[in-house]
Amino acid sequence: MSFDNAYEAITENNDARWAFGTGFADPLSGVDTTVPPGVDGADLAAYCLMLGDDALVLSHRLQQWCTRAPELEDEVALANIGLDLLGQARLLLARAGRADGSGRGEDDLAYHRPEPAFRNARLTELPHADFAELVAVLLVCSTWRLAVFQRLRDSADPVLSAVAEKGVKELTYHRDYAARWAVRLGDGTALSHERMTGALETVWPYVDELFIPHPVESRLSADGVAVDPAEVRAEADDVLNQVFTAATLARPGAAPRAGVSGRAGRDGLHTEHLGYLLAELQSIARTYPEATW
């Protein structure tokens, strides 16, 4: 089957279970995944892993809230947000395996990499002690990611451009959902305001990492492939400040935990929480490496 562009190929999927299990057809089947001229395939793969790992890890954190959300409607909303992110992760991990020439598929990259090989920002791997912390993480991550994906639609890599085109619609909802809950909690009761304030103080030390460019991002942004995250800081801050104002919340003042060279997660240096998360995420695949489900 042929398509006029990568976006049509990516979105043409009639399998109702498209985001579940293993052993599915390559999500990029039928898409021209040739690395654009002048672009380093290893850099492109590394960039896709960064964005893909962010989505995969945060998706896993969100699914942990099934049966724990405040209302049934939120159970469904969080499940859908998690599935959106899992879909983005599938496409980005598959793209990484094509770009670096290794031929690794999405399952190989999701289930058979050790912790230091993951490139997600540390904010995505933090556990959520309560619902307010989930809202804080989702608000910051979706605000940042939406700003990046809006610009990534113009990427010189047609696959990244197509993934971003679809992702913008999803991330707009993710950000709005988190913002509504931040306002509801911040401008609610004294207890909910206290919880939301505490949640922001907990996650804020990890926020700067999202906006510090990695050398891979700098090189690819110069080639018109990637987005320099520093360029979206002002836009993200403006959105977050509007939410904080509506929610009667003060902007957090917690000092950043810069880590190694300010990009710890992107360099494979993580909090103690990621190892436990991956042990759960990868347990079946590592126990039964040839199984499909």
* Distance between CA atoms of residues 19 and 81, nearest Å: 12
What's the N-to-C CA distance of the chain in angstroms? 26
Report residue 272: phi and psi, to 5°. Answer: -65, -15
Residue-wise pLDDT tens digits, 37-77: 999 999 999 999 999 999 999 999 999 998 899 999 999 99
Pick from 228, 225, 239, 229: nearest CA to 209: 229
What's the rounded mean pLDDT across residues 108-116? 95
- Model confidence at 2, pLDDT cuts 50, 70, 90, reads very low
What domains sit in the chain, N to C, each tagged with a CATH number?
37-286 (1.20.1260.10)
| Helix, strand or coil, per DSSP, at residue 132 | helix
Task: Report the run of H or E that residue 239 belongs to, with start and end.
Answer: helix 233-246
* 277 closest CA partner among 19, 60, 20: 60
pLDDT digits (tens, 9 = 90+) for 174-211: 999 999 999 999 999 999 999 999 999 999 999 999 99
3-state class (DSSP) for residue 213: coil
Question: CA-to-CA distance for 264 and 271, rounded, in angstroms?
Answer: 9
Question: Rounded to an integer, what is the distance from CA 30 to the centroid of its chain?
Answer: 25
Q: Give residue 265's pLDDT band: very low, low, confident or very high (50, 70, 90).
A: very high
